Structure 1
């Protein structure tokens, strides 16, 4: 199953990257089943460091949730890899900030987490350090 999840996540990220590059997309999210937890983080942010283990755990624990990071400082390449290693980030970091495409303003407070439904809608913007339970409370909340 881990190999399948890795393959699925790779396909999901490739599709998300295409969306971020400006390709047309319908109102459905990447696969119509997966929640995206998009977390803004920076190495200098103490609360970000606090929540990363919970985000790593969430990314491993549910097949219907994928955690994606956004490095607030816009780091790329070796600098980004060094920060990810230092903080223990195990989830993928997006190359581009998705806020505008999601109809959101760039966060001014860190950490900030966007919860994006399988239909591609931002259903909640959480500020401050989160736990697996606080994120799942949003994802598992009845809608209607």
Structure 2
């Protein structure tokens, strides 16, 4: 009996692990290509006003591409520092792109921001297409992209985005 329970537990764990992992095939089956020191793959995400943003439109700016979700405690933890970073970068060649993976899309993000007093340049990826192209395996996951469109850093997990060393790193990228 114990052996059967162990096997059942292992089978459930394997199924959950597979369900939580994202396919490394992107839009239209394109292979995963988001990696440090490589060009940032093109994605299109929707903003909260119904418009769309094509990543290639941001060439000439340092981009902080953050994948997050309202239900994610580490994401909630890092949002205030992201807001402070975004405010400190006003008027500079910098663009934050906070892509929510919430299935509720615009409504879920707006309700979440209103409830917590958060405000970020938010975009939606409810279908997970952009996350798939970037090979996102969990949230938060962030890609720092330089002004020429090269992924220079991939960060898995939350970060204090307004820390002096982080700001210095981003400002150095803006000078290049």
C-alpha displacement of 1:104:
2.3
Consecutive unaligned residues in structure 1, runs of 5 or more: 1-12
Pairwise CA RMSD: 3.0
Correspondent of 2:134 among 97, 101, 104: 104
- Asked whether 1:30 is paired with 2:58, we answer yes
Q: CA deviation at 1:45?
A: 1.1
Please identify, of 55-64 and 89-98, the stretch whose mean Cα deviation from structure 2 is larger: 89-98
CA displacement at 1:77 relative to structure 2 = 3.0
> Deviation of residue 140 (structure 1)?
4.5
Cα offsets for 1:85-107 (capped at 9, x unmatched):
2344311112345446xx621x1
- Give me the whole-angstrom Cα distance separating, in 2, the residues matched to 1:87 and 1:38: 21
Q: Deviations over 1:33-61 (max 9, x none)?
A: x2111111112211111110100011110
State the partner residue of 1:65.
94
8 Å CA contact 2:141–2:155 kept in 1: the answer is yes
Partner of 2:145: 116
CA distance in 2, matches of 1:44, 1:95: 14
Shift of 1:119: 1.1
Contact 1:53 1:88 in 2 (8 A): no
Aligned: 1:126 with 2:146: no
Q: Secondary structure at the match of 2:80?
A: helix
Aligned length in residues: 120
Tell me the CA shift for residue 17 of structure 1.
Answer: 3.2
Write the mapping of 1:52-91 to structure 2, written as runs, cut at 5 A. Answer: 52-62=79-89, 63-91=92-120
**Counterpart in 2 of 1:19?**
54
Match of 2:167 in 1: 136
User: Is the alpha carbon distance of 1:88 and 1:112 closer, same or farther for their aligned partners in structure 2, counting shifts above 3 Å?
Assistant: farther
